[in-house]
Structure 1
């Protein structure tokens, strides 16, 4: 299992890189003011950081209890990314509609675009992170 400092490094790195990529790409593709879209992206980043920390901890605990290891296989990574983005979608949809003054359908289309971006980004980022900072085998679930 990863410790708190490692989880914080993971989350901050994920959000900073994702934020830079999403703000530039999103404002360009949607032809929106970068500052206006960037402020929305920062809000989502803060929400996602909180969700990321707790979700990853719960997911790793679930893997550890289920298989005795928190090391993710290919299928685990796909499930991990889909569930993460699905949970975040529930929170972000009404915020997009309000912030950008668009309909819920338009907000859904934008949110789906961001989800697709982050699905690919999350998979690649987590794969790279696990290679750069590997999980130590034999780690045990901390007592609570």
Structure 2
């Protein structure tokens, strides 16, 4: 059996090679299903977390939805960029390390956007919002990792993480 790199080299040099065909859910449909499922769960859980730490239910729900809208925009942007980077990698698949890097990158970016918003919305200091976000971050790091793993198991890997097929 040829290695992925020799298969890739063969594809580059052969003009009659069949185009790469990814398996599983791909493209825009994959992203829409991914974001919809991820954020629906995130809104429910984060609303409950805000309420559990003493915020009003109405404020908690609005903040959870606002955070979700921001997260959807970030999610689409971040995952697009991540998959472009991933497609250029010689090692295909999603190792634990790659999944951890993905989760840290996503959650770090979202925290930078949400801390000032939470401070303003809940009328708390940036420090209090950072502490609140740190608690949410722990949950969402685990949630993001587990959700991505489960999503990939159910729907298959995106084309960017699949080995070349002919």
Q: Please tell me whether residue 119 in structure 1 is matched to residue 141 in structure 2.
A: yes
State how many pairs are aligned.
138
The TM-score normalised by the length of structure 2 is 0.77
Structure of greater Rg = 2
- C-alpha RMSD over aligned residues: 1.7
1:55 pairs with one of 74, 78, 81: 78
- SS in structure 1 of the partner of residue 124 of structure 2: coil
2:110 pairs with one of 88, 101, 111: 88
Offset of 1:26 from its aligned partner?
2.5
Identify unmatched segments of 5+ residues in structure 2. Answer: 1-21
Identify unmatched segments of 5+ residues in structure 1. Answer: none
Q: Please tell me whether residue 36 in structure 1 is matched to residue 51 in structure 2.
A: no
Q: Please tell me whether residue 128 in structure 1 is matched to residue 160 in structure 2.
A: no
- SS in structure 2 of the partner of residue 67 of structure 1: coil
Q: Please tell me whether residue 79 in structure 1 is matched to residue 101 in structure 2.
A: yes
Moved over 3 A (4+): 136-140
Change (3 A) 1:103 1:62: same
In the alignment, the residues of structure 1 paired with residue 49 and residue 61 of structure 2 have an alpha-carbon distance, to the nearest angstrom, of: 10
Higher relative CO (Cα under 8 Å, sequence separation at least 6) belongs to 2
- SS in structure 2 of the partner of residue 77 of structure 1: helix
